[in-house]
Amino acid sequence: MSTLRKIMPLELKKKRLEMDKLNEEKAKLLRIKKELEFDMRQLKPVAPAAGILYWGTFKKGKWSGTTILEPKLRKSGIIKSHEEFLTILPHKRTQVRISLSEKYLHEVHVGMKGKVLCSAKPKDKLEACLTKIGEIPINPGIYDLTVEVAIPEGEKLPLPGTACTLKVVAYENPDALTLPSSAVFSEDADPDSKFVYLPGKDKPRKKTVEVGKRSGERVEILKGIRPGVKVLTEKPES
């Protein structure tokens, strides 16, 4: 009996240690289970907004298309971590992104009104306002413009990615004095110095003029001659 009394406390201590170890294992497994359940919930994506779902991405209004994604979305395809492959367009407002050559940049400004023509509906002209001009080029010599478009009530919104054209009146002067470009000449030594030929009794005479904007085959005359003055449309023979 004395031997049994000595063994029982040791066995009891051993069992308690085993129980503590099992409790630690249980706590560890419960923690892993909780983490796995969280991961499972993350694998069920919830759309952050309601709208049209597009395969691919949009960059400055241009849709990437699905061709580049097809190999990745088929069986055994691989999508990298943080790689964008879906876009939700909520249709809250309509914007148009315009690529503009730098040679026309000085003719536009924020707040300028115009018309947007969509390729899908070329006859419809939507009221538009230029709201942003990119400060740095997106490509050599090309700048990005953002245009807000007003959609008439009841009118169906253009689909995202629709090709559009912006038309604006860059300059308007109803009282402008214009001449055919063929009637305005440049000095050989100074191409920036412009002049016209006025008819004379003996021979035509040169008259220096200051030119402004050009539109097609017409040139605006700012200074040098008055309205109604006759000029030669061709350079006289020497």
Tens digits of residue pLDDT in 44-70:
777 777 878 888 888 887 888 888 888
pLDDT of residue 2: 52
Q: Are residues 162 and 186 in the same domain?
A: no
Tens digits of residue pLDDT in 100-127:
999 989 889 999 999 998 888 888 888 9
pLDDT of residue 143: 94
Q: Are residues 134 and 100 in the same domain?
A: yes
Q: Which of 65, 89, 113 is the last residue of a domain?
A: 89
Q: Per-residue pLDDT for 92 more than 90? A: no
pLDDT of residue 6: 54
Q: Which of 141, 168, 195 is the last residue of a domain?
A: 168
Q: Are residues 152 and 122 in the same domain?
A: yes
Q: Are residues 155 and 176 in the same domain?
A: no
Tens digits of residue pLDDT in 156-182:
778 788 888 899 888 888 888 999 999
Q: Are residues 176 and 238 in the same domain?
A: yes
Q: Are residues 100 and 82 in the same domain?
A: no
pLDDT of residue 31: 94
Domain count, the chain: 4
Q: Are residues 137 and 188 in the same domain?
A: no
Residue 152 parent element (H or E): none
pLDDT of residue 124: 83
Q: Are residues 100 and 164 in the same domain?
A: yes
- DSSP for 171-220, written as a single string: ---TT-EEEEGGG-EE-SS-TT-EEEEE--SSS-EEEEEEEEEEETTEEE
Tens digits of residue pLDDT in 196-238:
999 888 888 899 999 998 888 899 999 999 988 899 888 887 6
Domain hosting 76: range is 52-89
Q: Are residues 161 and 102 in the same domain?
A: yes
Would you place residue 187 in the very low, low, confident or very high pLDDT band (cuts 50, 70, 90)? confident
What CATH number has the domain bearing residue 209?
A: 2.40.420.20
Q: Is the pTM of this model over 0.85?
A: no
Phi-psi region of 65 (alpha: psi -120 to 50; beta: other; left: phi over 0): left
Q: Which of 125, 151, 168 is the last residue of a domain?
A: 168
Q: Are residues 101 and 71 in the same domain?
A: no
Q: Are residues 175 and 164 in the same domain?
A: no
pLDDT of residue 208: 92
Average pLDDT, the chain: 85
